[in-house]
């Protein structure tokens, strides 16, 4: 529709409305016009694109407004930074009817198209209960926006405890949170970027119980096999401590879902403890076990000449990284070392030093404890 009359077009003051599909197009006093492509309904908080035609002034912009409060806009973009006459906007997070407007640099409206924003219809799916410290698998249905997140709150105090951004897994619509290490009732909720709760589910966190199986005495420096009953969570640890220094781990490893691990015990005999700890360091179980003393022996089978290969008969714990070595007694420097685990035999071949002198053959543990020693004389 166009206004008719005897007034000259150059003197027209005001706006002339032209209908363009679902878009309303306004011609300004300077003849500038713009057009906005009609937009399908979008989900609350979602990103979408709008095509336009317009004067493309440096400070022209496209924005979303509430027709009842047009001065308070929700999303806008300068057309000067767009490509192919297409702007990216973010829908308001409250469902309802809005308008998309093209404004020139003097904030005059050159085009308008309606925008319908629909609810995201989000629904969470979570287990009804888990144990303390467990990983909670979370699924949801509905549209996922960039700043949406899953929150875990206390059911009694409504205080947010943990948060994870759902957008990190928006394609699979799955994520996970770690349950608190305090039993009780909690609420998992799906929250959009404005803090509005779109869905909420109650979850019960139950106490976790760990019980060690009986541990038999272990030879010093050997491996202790550890088994237990109960729920194993990610990053749980099993360690060995001296009861006199319970906060200092002598060895540790991560617990496994098979509820069985092996640990190297200290080389000092005595009583120790196995401790089972959660990822936060909370001790869930303890048990005592004994480390027994060990000994070793060495025997030369014949007289040795310089540079000669000879055999040593040995007995001992045969633990991982135990060594038999030749030491120069002049400076106590090891000249050669042989891991006993490498040889599946009570006899180990050694190579004698080429220089005459007094040496020693030693059985040594990884902790540098000498369990046995015999003299070795080369020459003279």
| pLDDT per residue as tens digits for the range 162-184 | 776 656 677 788 988 999 999 99
Q: What is the structure's pLDDT at 193? A: 82
Angstrom distance (rounded) from CA 235 to CA 249: 16
Mean pLDDT calculated for residue range 185-208:
92
Mean pLDDT calculated for residue range 296-307:
91
Angstrom distance (rounded) from CA 41 to CA 198: 19
Give whole-number Cα distances, 374 to 60, 329, 362, 379, in Å: 93, 12, 7, 16
| 133-157 pLDDT, tens digit each | 999 999 999 888 888 889 999 888 7
What string of DSSP letters covers 220-233?
TTSEEEEEEEE---
Torsion of the alpha carbons at 370, 374, 375 and 379, rounded to the nearest 10: -120
Angstrom distance (rounded) from CA 210 to CA 224: 18
What is this structure's pTM?
A: 0.74
Greater confidence (261 vs 6) lies with: 261
Q: What is the DSSP letter of 342?
A: G
For the chain, what is the mean pLDDT? 87
Among residues of the chain, what percentage have pLDDT more than 70? 90
Mean pLDDT calculated for residue range 351-379:
93
Angstrom distance (rounded) from CA 201 to CA 206: 16
Q: Pick from 85, 80, 96: which is nearest to 50 by CA?
A: 85
Q: How confident is the model at residue 13 (pLDDT cuts 50, 70, 90)?
A: very low
Greater confidence (231 vs 3) lies with: 231
| 61-103 pLDDT, tens digit each | 999 999 988 888 888 889 888 888 999 999 998 899 999 999 9
Q: What is the structure's pLDDT at 380? A: 61
Q: How confident is the model at residue 10 (pLDDT cuts 50, 70, 90)?
A: very low
Angstrom distance (rounded) from CA 280 to CA 109: 58
Domains and CATH numbers, the chain: 9-118 (2.60.40.2840), 123-206 (2.60.40.1220), 210-292 (2.60.40.1220), 297-378 (2.60.40.1930)
Q: What is the DSSP letter of 172?
A: T
Angstrom distance (rounded) from CA 359 to CA 127: 69
| 27-45 pLDDT, tens digit each | 444 557 899 999 999 999 8
Angstrom distance (rounded) from CA 150 to CA 320: 48
Among residues of the chain, what percentage have pLDDT more than 90? 65
């Amino acid at each position: 529709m166009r206004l008719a009359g005897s007034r000259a077009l150059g003197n027209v003051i005001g706006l002339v409305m032209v209908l363009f599909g679902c878009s309303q197009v306004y011609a300004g006093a300077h003849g500038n016009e713009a057009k906005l492509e009609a937009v399908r309904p979008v989900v609350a908080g979602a990103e979408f694109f709008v095509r336009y035609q317009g004067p493309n002034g440096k400070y022209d912009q496209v924005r979303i407004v509430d027709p009842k409060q047009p001065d308070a806009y929700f999303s806008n973009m300068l057309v000067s930074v767009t490509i192919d006459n297409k702007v990216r906007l973010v829908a308001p997070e409250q469902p309802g009817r809005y308008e998309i407007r093209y404004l020139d640099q003097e904030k005059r409206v050159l085009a308008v198209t309606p925008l319908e924003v629909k609810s995201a219809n989000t629904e969470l799916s979570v287990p009804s209960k888990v144990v303390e410290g467990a990983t909670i698998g979370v699924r949801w249905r509905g549209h996922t926006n960039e700043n949406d997140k899953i929150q875990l709150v206390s059911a009694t105090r409504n205080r947010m405890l943990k948060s994870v951004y759902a957008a990190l897994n928006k394609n699979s619509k799955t994520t996970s949170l770690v349950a608190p290490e305090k039993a009780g009732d909690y609420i998992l909720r799906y929250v959009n970027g404005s803090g509005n709760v779109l869905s909420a589910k109650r979850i019960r966190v139950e106490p976790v119980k760990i019980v060690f199986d009986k541990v038999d005495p272990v030879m010093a420096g050997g491996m202790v096999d550890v088994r237990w009953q109960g729920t194993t969570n990610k990053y749980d640890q099993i360690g060995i401590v001296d009861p006199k220094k319970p906060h200092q781990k002598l060895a540790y490893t991560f617990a496994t879902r098979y509820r069985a691990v092996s640990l190297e015990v200290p080389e000092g005999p005595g009583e120790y403890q196995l401790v089972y700890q959660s990822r936060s360091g909370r001790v869930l179980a303890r048990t005592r076990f004994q480390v027994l003393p060990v000994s070793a022996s060495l025997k030369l089978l014949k007289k040795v000449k310089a540079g000669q290969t000879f055999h040593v008969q040995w007995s001992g714990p045969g633990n991982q990284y135990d060594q038999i070595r030749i030491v120069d007694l002049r400076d106590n420097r090891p000249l050669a070392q042989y891991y006993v685990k490498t040889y599946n035999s009570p006899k180990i071949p050694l190579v004698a030093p080429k220089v005459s002198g007094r040496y020693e053959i030693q059985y040594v543990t990884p902790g540098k404890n000498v369990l046995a020693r015999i003299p070795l004389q080369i020459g003279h």
